Chain A
Amino acid sequence: NAGVTQTPKFRILKIGQSMTLQCAQDMNHNYMYWYRQDPGMGLKLIYYSVGAGITDKGEVPNGYNVSRSTTEDFPLRLELAAPSQTSVYFCASSARGNTEAFFGQGTRLTVV
């Protein structure tokens, strides 16, 4: 039972480059989320999805895009990387009607 799987685990980007952070879950959860974690700031919600084809902005969506073409996958896209996007990114999922979230291992992204 893999749970929530994120790839890659680490990545260094140059300013202006783009990349996609992958997230997949095998628990058939309707809800999926992307958070970023910065020291002392806790986790901030970037985007979330309540089901395939439905996405919405969270607290800090600027500079990111998402898509949800299947229940399992929820990729996060950075189009023009900026140093302010240096962070640890966590994907999570939860079942409808159950607010307990399950987290992936995280992706540590550095933009230089």
Chain B
Amino acid sequence: AQSVSQHNHHVILSEAASLELGCNYSYGGTVNLFWYVQYPGQHLQLLLKYFSGDPLVKGIKGFEAEFIKSKFSFNLRKPSVQWSDTAEYFCAVNPNNAGNMLTFGGGTRLMVKP
């Protein structure tokens, strides 16, 4: 069965530190890839998505992610985090032959210390 792995469950950073959150998936075919963010007490919001083309995608709030097909990875990065980035981050995968279904990773809870 297809799975999505986020290896970092909890990350604590100081403001201005760089961030990289890992995401790996097990599906071997063509996929659409997403990162969602959930701020405390709020619903999930889309950060960025990859469907095709340039494997380096830019999202909102200075986030970016790189799709590396050979590694089945879609890691999220931000050069300098802010306290307001404290949230839970979810990677999600949609195989092209699975309709609109998304499979989510377990999430990474990020805390940024001011």
Q: Does A67 contact B (CB under 8 A)?
A: no
Contact status B106-A41, CB under 8 Å: yes
B90 at the interface (CB under 8 A from A): yes
- One of B34, B99, B101, B104 near A42 (C-beta < 8 A): B104
Contact of A99 among B9, B32, B107 (CB under 8 A): B32
Q: For chain A, give the interface size range.
A: 20 to 34
Contact A48 B101, CB 8 Å, known A42-B4, A42-B90, A104-B43? yes
As a 0/1 sequence over residues 101 to 114 of chain B, the CB contacts with chain A under 8 angstroms (1 = contact) are: 11111110000000
| Residues of the B chain whose Cβ atoms lie less than 8 Å from the Cβ of A105 | 42-43
B43 touching A90, Cβ below 8 Å:
yes
Q: Does B100 contact A (CB under 8 A)?
A: yes
Q: Which residues of B contact A (CB under 8 A)?
A: 4, 6, 9, 32, 34, 36, 42-46, 49, 90, 94, 99-107
Whether the Cβ atoms of B90 and A43 lie closer than 8 Å is: yes
Nearest chain B CB to A92's CB is how many angstroms away?
8
What's the minimum C-beta distance from B18 to chain A, rounded to whole angstroms?
24
- Whether a CB of chain B sits under 8 angstroms from the CB of A45 is yes
B residues within 8 A CB of A43? 44, 90, 104
- CB pair A101–B106 under 8 Å, yes or no, is no
* Extra contacts besides A99-B100, A104-B43 (6): CB < 8 Å: A4-B43, A31-B99, A42-B4, A42-B104, A43-B104, A45-B102
Cβ of B44: which chain A residues have Cβ within 8 Å of it? 43, 90, 92, 103
Are B49 and A100 in contact (CB-based, < 8 A)? yes
Interface residues in A3-55 (C-beta closer than 8 Å to B): 4, 31, 33, 35, 40-45, 48, 50
Contacts of A92 in B (CB 8 A): 44
What are 10 A-B pairs at a CB distance below 8 A?
A: A31-B99, A42-B6, A45-B102, A48-B101, A99-B34, A99-B102, A100-B46, A101-B102, A103-B43, A103-B44
Over the window 61-103 of chain A, the binary record of Cβ atoms lying under 8 Å from chain B Cβ atoms (1 yes, 0 no) is 0000000000000000000000000000010101010111101
